[in-house]
Structure 1
Amino acid sequence: MTADFGQQFKVATADGEWTAENSGRLRHMTQGEADLPAVGDWLAAEPLPGERRVRIHGVLPRRGKISRKAAGAPVREQIIAANVDTLFVVTSLNFDLNVRRLERYLIMAWNSGTQPVILLSKADLCTAEFRARALAEVSAVAPGVPIHVVSAQTGEGIAEVAAYFAGGRSCALTGTSGCGKSTLTNRLAGGDWLRTGGIREDDSRGRHTTTHRQMVPMPGGGVLIDTPGMRELQPWEGEEDGLSGTFADIEALAQRCRFRDCTHKREEGCAVQAAAASGELDAGRLIGYGKTQRELAFLERKEKSRSSSGRSAGNGKRDRTERRSRNWMDEE
């Protein structure tokens, strides 16, 4: 799948790019939105006679997925992209730079199994002093993560980013509206693939220009998936691996706490609180760590409650669900 417009899709075939639709059987078999095709998925599809259109019957096993909790109430997973090797987390070098929000993007990347890379965009619009301060702040919350300063206007950093596509690798862009994702995509692809727009001058925040997910081929091989800007980024359940990867410094400090089950709040002998008090650990980073832990715990409780409600509905419903979930490749 190369593009998702909500109700319509595009897929790449041996005969070029065709439009696509999900089969009724596929919609009936899936357990939820996260099981339906996403940009980056490999599909089993049937060409419709006399049309450049296919009907999708199945999704081949994914080797990874980038997902978040969908906005709004019920608790459900939203797939951002599938089968991605590298996730570019883009944040612009202006007053919209937010390291706490950046931590959430890193959690999403580490949990998905992709390699996160941070792109500090619009380098041509900031002062040298602001650039140096931003680099220091971002480096402090992203230990071990590659960071590139880029400008689609001047070309700074573009060659370094293009190197990630070597060997036909799949990459994706994520970040808030107005951070320059679409402009970077056009510069990397060498054409006007995506519509672009400016930012509001009063608060440096962007306007939505990308409203769908789209895969763009790169000149030297590989593909880049551009995604709509996110105002709200809530972690998806089970992101403990992403939490550990993003907050590796706090996890390392926790090994020195007196108590194994230390919550890093008021316990005696807490190495994490001691580091925050001495200035070794940024206090805001510890607050973000605790907040994310609470959100993940809340999602886990909600999921357990939902699973319990499903079991109480009776075995007949569960048996029907199990029959529907059989692998589509085993069916005639």
Structure 2
Amino acid sequence: MNVYKKELKAFDVYCQADGTFLEPVEWPKCVASVNCNEPPARPYTGTWEWNGNSSFGTKISYTCGPYAKFCDDDGVCLDEIIIECAWNKSWVPAALPNCAAKACQDIPFPPEKLGLIYKPDEKNNMTLKSEYTRYNPFIPMKIPFPGPNQCIKGQKLMLVGKILDNNQPVNVILEATQNQEAFHLMIDIATEQISRWMELEKDVVVNLETSVGTTIDFLEPVIIILRCDEDGFSLKLNFDPAYPHDLHQVPLERIKNLLVTGGIELSFAGFVGEEMDPAPPLGFNLTYECPDGMVFDMDWFATPFVLMTCQDSGIFDEPNDWDIYQCVLPTTTECFDCTSKF
């Protein structure tokens, strides 16, 4: 029986004092490696770190994303689970526990053409759009900078979304007067490069750092947080370590706007307080309704509203077909002489 471990890639024999090699009773045998089948799918709201290989010994790290954890039937919860390809061609463990969410990251919005508007209530109230915040904004997006107090009162810039696989690097820019850039972040997942710089004037650029390697991947949740104080900016991406403090090169009074461009889909963007969490908790209700005097085209007598709830899965129960909820003005046809003559 061969007792050598499958992980063994080399075998050494040693020369003894008597001039002979110490040979094993049984030599190890070279055998072909094995490959596992497809691993468990990445959780819808989660992430995985996988090099795409399925050979023996390959490991994959999974998370449920920033707003959920893996929880088993006994209530034991973990932030991360690592599976490994075993010699029997199976992944161990073979299945992932369910993701227990605490909030819903993605806010569903009806298509604008339907005419539905958001209707908050006392128990389920959130501001979907303000001067300094946006939910589900279109890209490119621009938001005014709140002013120097943003860097004095312990506020933060927060972007929540997903990086798209469309060969467009993501750019997050704090634009200033005189064509300056107080801070420029570029995320290029294709090359795994995260670059930061400041542009003081045309052709005068202060390069802060270009780092290679990130846990961010295409179509996975990403949270970008940029904090600032009187001295400089501090950047953090997802679970990666915070980047070094970058000293201000442009006076805060000159910063005008936040500009976001490139291949990113945002569920939230804005300048918010330190404790702000844009994801609604489980059980939160979102209600959209037709404006006063309008009805659903499909059914004039139905109450014209759509109610969605943040489910235990961390996803709102969004309608499969929004188009049936078209808001219209009811019209009637008057009949002045409806008698028929035979």
Same fold (TM over 0.5): no
Answer 1 or 2: which has greater strand percent: 2
TM range (shorter): under 0.3
Structure with greater Cα Rg: 2
Answer 1 or 2: which has greater helix percent: 1
- After TM superposition, the score normalised by the length of structure 1 is 0.23
- After TM superposition, the score normalised by the length of structure 2 is 0.23
Structure showing greater relative contact order (alpha-carbon pairs closer than 8 Å, 6 or more residues apart): 2
